Copies of this chain bind each other. A is one copy, B any other.
Amino acid sequence: MSTASYTVVGMTCGHCVNAVTEEVSQLPGVTGVDVDLSSGGLTVTSEAPVDESAVRAAVEEAGYEVAGR
């Protein structure tokens, strides 16, 4: 199992959290996604490590940005 943490910027409400959660959850191999609105923390759990570029793309698809890892 692999866990990676990111910081997402631009989320302002629970709808934003849901949008990010849904997009990242769809990435192949991802088994868990946790998003914290107040800190912007995004934790991705997966069977094998997921490419950072894929996570970034999913967050952008939802309409937000990854500020860092």
Contact = CB atoms under 8 A, between A and B. Distances in A.
A30 interface: no
Interface residues of A, number: 7
A53 interface: no
Interface of A: 12-16, 19, 63
The A interface, classified by DSSP as helix, strand, loop or mixed, is: helix
A63 B15 CA distance: 11
Given A14-B63, A15-B15, A15-B16, 6 more contacts: A12-B12, A12-B13, A13-B13, A13-B15, A13-B16, A15-B19
Contacts of A15: 13, 15-16, 19
A15 to B, nearest CB: 3
